[in-house]
Structure 1
Amino acid sequence: MTDAGMSWRNESLGARVRVALWLRDEVGEGGVFSKASIREAVKGTEQVDRRMRDLRPADWSILTYRDKPSLQPDQLYLEKIGLPIWEPEYRAAGLRQISAKTRRYVYERDGHMCRRCGVAAGEEYADEPGTRARLTLGHVRPHQSGSGANSEDLITECARCNETVKHLTGVQMTKEQVWDRIKELPGRGKRDLLVWMKADCRPLSAAEKAWGMYRQLPAAVREELEGDLETLMRR
């Protein structure tokens, strides 16, 4: 199939290719669109948003309202069309395949906890009652095009932090606000924080690692362990 004959309406094409073609043909560089419009165009495809994000490592630049203040919260801006991933030679451009073995190793290495906010799998967010964490893998340097898929390139993140980091949203705090919080820490806290800053990660304690492992167990088994620990602590 030639480039000229390719269409985002062709359902036999992969979702990533269809999304790229839709952006090329219906939006164009400098165009504004919404997630709703792309979901409507590429119907019946799971995780269309993720397929769109998968274009970024292939040198596509798609901005959100946090990157471009003139946009509305539901709008996106196609700043640059990158590699033509609809062409066979570019089809895998930017894709980073993570093996099951590597995925399992990273989760175990990180104690089945988000290394950015510390939440464990299935744990309820303190600031979002009723919403429970789902773990995924992110890249240590998420905005570096072509980041590797080796364990040293990966970090366990909850889905919320993963999305936040990809779009550089974060908590909208100033340097001064963070510095004020740091200055309030006791001496030990400041020393620990400096170590974490230099290592660019927060080491997990033995209790935190056990907590992450505990969260992986079925609910009935967790209840048994809770009772076992209570019994042990009363001895």
Structure 2
Amino acid sequence: MVEEEELSWRNTHLGTRIRVALWLRDEVGEGGTFSKARLREVIQGAEQVDRRMRDLRPAGWVIKTYRDKPSLQPDQLYLEAMGRPVWEPEHRAAGLRQISAKTRRFVYERDLHMCRRCGIAAGEEYADDPGTRGRLTLGHVNPHKSGSAGNAEDLITECARCNETVGHLTGIQMTKEQVWDRVAALPNRGKRDLLEWMEADHRTLSPAEKAWGMYRQLPAVLREALRQDLEALLKS
């Protein structure tokens, strides 16, 4: 068992999921409310804090949002119940799925290194959020709590923003009416393309878009070299 003095959410040597669980245990408690902003503030220097919090749910932690508990504000979360003590060695893997490096690489390549939900490529800037760039991760086709596995057919490439949205950990979502207004404003060709993507549950990409997604996953120095090669090719 880990020594008690080491079991602190302030201990940066612990994994992020463990630190989040300890903070919820010690600072929030069952029946307490907190915000994502506060969680990110206290667990500094850790990646994907929101996602690590969501990873507690399959281990029996009940964390509700305003969608589950109407009395909450959109930025509030409610710790209804603590689950398994993931800070203990025998419980550290509780609720987690192991995804092999081979499977991870296969899914990214299959999805052409682009988010299957919004289409953004790695490092590409969001059109509606200038200055914020896409960071790719893996998500499950079905929500984690529904029992989807860690196999390639159960995984899709998502950007971190879409991954959080699917997990109901973001703020207020667009309404159906807001999305419909954008759909209705499309030219007929755009409407037909969109319907085709909806029916296939997959956006058909042009060869140039496929190459773009692959290009974006390259390191910056290789992207620049490739850009120069293409520029030289077009000038020849």
Residue 132 of structure 1 pairs with residue 133 of structure 2: yes
Q: Secondary structure at the residue paired with 1:77?
A: strand
The whole-number CA distance in structure 1 between the counterparts of 2:74 and 2:179 is 25
What is the alpha-carbon distance in structure 1 between the residues aligned to residue 220 and residue 23 of structure 2? Answer: 44
Q: C-alpha distance in 2, partners of 1:211/1:45? A: 30
Q: Deviations over 1:36-59 (max 9, x none)?
A: 765787788665544322112224
The residue identity in structure 1 corresponding to 2:105 is R
Supply the distance in 2 between the matched residues of 1:87 and 1:220 (Cα, whole angstroms): 43
Name the counterpart of 1:163: 164
Gaps of 5+ in 1: none
- What's the TM-score, normalizing by structure 1? 0.76
Contact map agreement 2:50 2:169 (CA 8 A) in 1: no
Unaligned runs of 5+ in 2: none
Write out aligned runs for 1:95-174 (5 A). 95-167=96-168, 169=170, 172-174=173-175
* Partner in structure 2 of residue 213 of structure 1: 214
1:182 is aligned to 183
Letter matched to residue 133 of structure 1 = G
Contact 1:96–1:146, Cα closer than 8 Å, also in 2: no
* Count of residue pairs the alignment pairs up: 233
Instruction: Please give the TM-score of this superposition, normalised by the length of structure 2.
Output: 0.76
Which stretch shifts more, 150-159 or 38-47?
38-47
Contact between 2:7 and 2:87, CA under 8 Å: does it hold in 1? no
Note closer, same or farther for the CA distance 1:180–1:232 as it changes in structure 2 (3 Å cut).
Answer: same
SS state at 1:136 partner: strand
- Identify which range, 66-75 or 206-215, moves more after superposition: 66-75
Counterpart residue number, 2:200 = 199
Q: For the Cα contact (< 8 Å) 1:31–1:77, is it kept in 2?
A: yes
In 1, the alpha carbon distance for the partners of 2:88 and 2:63 equals 20
SS in 2 for 1:107: helix
1:125-169 per-residue CA deviation (whole Å, 9 max, x = no partner) reads 222222222211111223534321111111111222222221264
Query: Are the equivalent residues in 1 in contact too, given 2:114–2:213 (CA < 8 A)?
Result: yes
Classify 1:60/1:210 alpha carbon distance in 2 versus 1 (closer, same or farther; 3 Å): same
- 1:206 is displaced (CA, Å) by 1.6
Q: Is the 8 A contact 2:141 2:156 kept in 1?
A: yes
- Structure 2 CA distance for partners of 1:169 and 1:35, relative to 1, 3 Å: closer
> 2:203 is aligned with what amino acid?
R
Deviation at 1:77, TM superposition (A): 0.6
Which stretch of the first structure deviates more once superposed, 147-156 or 222-231?
A: 222-231
User: For the residues of structure 2 that align with 1:60 and 1:150, how far apart are their CA atoms?
Assistant: 24
Amino acid aligned to 2:155: L
Residue 90 of structure 1: how far off its partner (Å): 4.7
State the partner residue of 1:51: 52
Give the secondary-structure state (helix, strand or coil) at the position aligned to 1:131: strand
- Give the distance between the partners of 1:186 and 1:162, measured in 2 at CA: 29
Question: Match for residue 77 of structure 1?
Answer: 78
Taking only the aligned residue pairs, the percentage that are identical comes to: 76
CA–CA distance in 2 between the matches of 1:37 and 1:222? 37
Match for 2:98: what amino acid?
Answer: Q
By how many angstroms is 1:89 displaced? 5.9
Give distance in 2, aligned partners of 1:44 and 1:133. 19
SS at match of 2:145: coil
User: What is the CA–CA distance in structure 2 between the aligned matches of 1:199 and 1:23, rounded to whole Å?
Assistant: 41
Equivalent position SS for 1:144: helix
Aligned 8 A contact 2:140 2:148 in 1:
yes
CA–CA distance in 1 between the matches of 2:70 and 2:41?
25
